[in-house]
Structure 1
Amino acid sequence: MFSVLLAVIFAVATIASGQSAAWDQSLGDATTFQDAPLERQGKFFPLFSVIRFANTQCTGSNNLNGTCFTRRECSNYAGTASGTCANNLGVCCVFVRTCGSTTNMNNTYFINPDYPTTYTGGDRCTIVVRPCNSHICQLRLDFLDFSLAQPDGTGVCDLDFLTVTGGATLVPRICGENTNQHVYVDFDGPAPITISIDTDVNYVFDRRWNIRIQQIACDSVWRAPSGCLQYYTTTTGTVTSFNYGTVVNPRSPLVGTRQLVNLNYGVCVRMTVGYCAIQWSQDNTLSFTVSGDTDGLDTTIIGTDLAAVTGTDCTADFVIIPNPFDTTGTALDVDRFCGNGFVTVISSSKPFVLYVITNGDETGDVLNRGFILDYQQIACPIF
């Protein structure tokens, strides 16, 4: 997409000396004559320049991402001008929407009513997202700020939850604390995608959300591969399960889990040129508690090999790392990992992916937090 700015460069003087005309020029509008008699207008020979600039992403003066438009276009699209772009020819237009909105603008921010003030809850809050052009294939949703009620003691998002419908990607119900998480959603052809947040007004909680919605072109290098709910593009990084936290679930503080049920998704890492494998390790001794009775274990055991469970003993909640081997290069005969500890493993299977699986039955799972795993791509040769 391009914006067009029609500007007057100069005008040749009138044949008769002393004659003049007034000009009125505004960003994004054609220049017009003001108060010049018709017979005088005919003696002018204005020269015009058509300036085109791309509607690319920009950063506004409020540090929010926007799209570069003319000032008039930004107003027509119900955006907010925040600084300039395109060498001061355009404005960085920021789009902020709340409940009951529809958008086809890139970098739209979906917020709760009166954000950043917290929200007490009420009716379902939705935004309908349409592709901005026929070359858009995917959305990336960044949870810049996301705090909803915790799941019940069995990990079910029953009071508050986010759902995404209409796309070609299955997004699980998400609730709890998920600031800085993200998901990718494929469009199903030209059909719109609806993002909904349900809240229970009868449950007292300070809810808040701010979700940035980015549209990704079909041929973009930033497009996530098919089957990847989450996608990372750095050589090192950290992957966190939804609603991970060290604070116990206040809705069931004695036996309740923070880990969400019925998850089945892939976390992909883009392979960097010159790198042949990826290493996965736990972030700290408490960062992998995905199954079993975490509360019943000796705290000195959690995070060690003694609390790590692998293979066929992982039947309900676990992560999968395809074709793993240990740090000495010895191949492992298991690819499932669960329990309350994680042993560092390496995988050279392409693409780099981590699968996350939880079932709908948390019987026997007590005070599970979920996981934080660090990844590091390994340069060729591996050993």
Structure 2
Amino acid sequence: MYMNQCFVKLVLICVFLILENESKNAGASNRNGKFFPLGWGIGLVRFENSVCGGADGFEGTCYTRRQCNEIGGVGAGPCAKGIGVCCIIQITCGGSSSYNNTYFTSPNFPTPYPGGSTCTVTIPKCNPDICQIRIDFLAFSLAQPDANGTCTTDAFYVIGGASNVPVLCGENSGQHIYVDFNGDSDIQLVLNTNAAATAASRAWNFKITQIGCDCPTKAPTGCLQYYTALSGTVRSFNYGTTGPQTGTRQLANENYGVCVEMQPGYCSITWGTSPGDMYAFTVTGNTNQAVGNGTIGPPSALSNGNCTTDFVVIPNPSYVNSSLVGPNTDRFCGNGFNSVTSKSLRK
């Protein structure tokens, strides 16, 4: 679904900067046992632990080589004008990391994971002033749900956070979620996989970013997903463009908020289906069970206000020159969708 908003702005993730004083030639001087008399000028090097670009699209953090080795990272090229190294931090099943821009991958990624076990990693806060993490699903491929939309074969869970995260499975590459810390408690990411099930492409690669409590990119409370650009596409988890089939790609028991940042000069968002995709809106128990006139795709298959089980809520909606009023008219379900505008209630 498309959303229209304000100008595109650069998204900055708050990174806590650590300054380290270290002599560029300290290691050599210690090995040679030299003594520098008082008054000799010894250069001290300072650089920020900022985000840097590593190999194969991975982002790292600029550390000294010693720091990178101490935290179990892997150097992927120079940073800070060659003084530091772009340190990539990667963990897998059983690992733990409190460092920013940590990557959680399936064993031997990108080789498909055979499954048959529970894979858990732990994410502590890197700083007392951290409130939230953002998880980017750079790669996320698990077994599909059953015919009722329940993740019975493979499943991804988030445990210990203050915010609710639904159980996920299927194909979710390119999606993201925000999870609030619950006080000082750690957050655990858990994947249960079944070796008996066929999932030829089962693999994952998650980027975990820690966000400070006062960071402007922190998602508002209650937002599992948060979009900040002028326009873009919002997809349900495990969204796919396949036609009618036995069962559904729609995941069961999903209840979460998708938020769009308000921008100066804009007061509404227009929501519509992706052009040319007749299955862009199929919110029912089964895509074979159409609502309305029994046709999938056209707006005439929309059911508005009469949704009691599965539905999407769009606050304060209206069609062109026509407000939607009455009980539950902010609920949308069925197998079609008319473009609507959601106006801000702020003054």
TM-score over 0.5 for the pair: yes
In structure 2, how many angstroms separate the alpha carbons of the residues matched to 1:199 and 1:84? 38
Question: Cα distance, 1:323 vs. partner?
Answer: 1.1
RMSD across aligned C-alpha pairs, in angstroms? 2.3
SS at match of 2:69: helix
Q: TM-score scaled to structure 2, two decimals?
A: 0.87
Match in the other structure for 1:286: 279
1:176 aligns with 2:164: no
Percent identity between matched residues is: 46
SS at match of 1:175: coil
1:212 aligns with 2:207: yes
Match of 2:255 among 255, 264, 270: 264
Question: CA 1:294/1:147 → structure 2, altered by over 3 Å: closer, same or farther?
Answer: same
Equivalent pairs counted in the alignment come to 325
In structure 1, how many angstroms separate the alpha carbons of the residues matched to 2:289 and 2:255? 27
Match in the other structure for 1:89: 83
1:7 aligns with 2:42: no
Q: TM-score scaled to structure 1, two decimals?
A: 0.80
In structure 2, how many angstroms separate the alpha carbons of the residues matched to 1:152 and 1:46? 73
1:190 aligns with 2:184: yes
Alignment of 1:149-164 (within 5 A): 149-164=143-158
Question: Cα distance, 1:68 vs. partner?
Answer: 1.1
Q: Is the 8 A contact 2:133 2:179 kept in 1?
A: yes
Question: Cα distance, 1:5 vs. partner?
Answer: 4.1
Match in the other structure for 1:228: 223
Match in the other structure for 1:367: none
Structure with the larger strand share? 1
Match of 1:276 among 241, 251, 267: 267
Question: CA 1:147/1:326 → structure 2, altered by over 3 Å: closer, same or farther?
Answer: same
One-letter code of the match for 1:315? Answer: T
In structure 2, how many angstroms separate the alpha carbons of the residues matched to 1:267 and 1:82? 35
Question: Cα distance, 1:47 vs. partner?
Answer: 1.8
One-letter code of the match for 1:148? Answer: L
Question: CA 1:92/1:299 → structure 2, altered by over 3 Å: closer, same or farther?
Answer: farther
Question: CA 1:256/1:35 → structure 2, altered by over 3 Å: closer, same or farther?
Answer: closer
| Structure ID, larger Rg | 1
Match of 2:246 among 244, 249, 255: 255
1:52 aligns with 2:52: no
Q: Is the 8 A contact 1:6 1:31 kept in 2?
A: no
Structure 2 gaps of 5+ residues are: 1-16
Match of 2:317 among 316, 324, 327: 324
In structure 2, how many angstroms separate the alpha carbons of the residues matched to 1:4 and 1:184? 30
In structure 2, how many angstroms separate the alpha carbons of the residues matched to 1:30 and 1:5? 13
In structure 1, how many angstroms separate the alpha carbons of the residues matched to 2:48 and 2:310? 47
Question: CA 1:155/1:232 → structure 2, altered by over 3 Å: closer, same or farther?
Answer: same
In structure 1, how many angstroms separate the alpha carbons of the residues matched to 2:106 and 2:136? 15
Match of 2:237 among 225, 239, 242: 242
In structure 2, how many angstroms separate the alpha carbons of the residues matched to 1:254 and 1:285? 14
In structure 2, how many angstroms separate the alpha carbons of the residues matched to 1:274 and 1:256? 44
SS at match of 2:169: coil
In structure 2, how many angstroms separate the alpha carbons of the residues matched to 1:279 and 1:224? 21
In structure 2, how many angstroms separate the alpha carbons of the residues matched to 1:57 and 1:321? 36
- The one of the two structures with greater contact order (alpha-carbon pairs below 8 A, sep at least 6) is 2
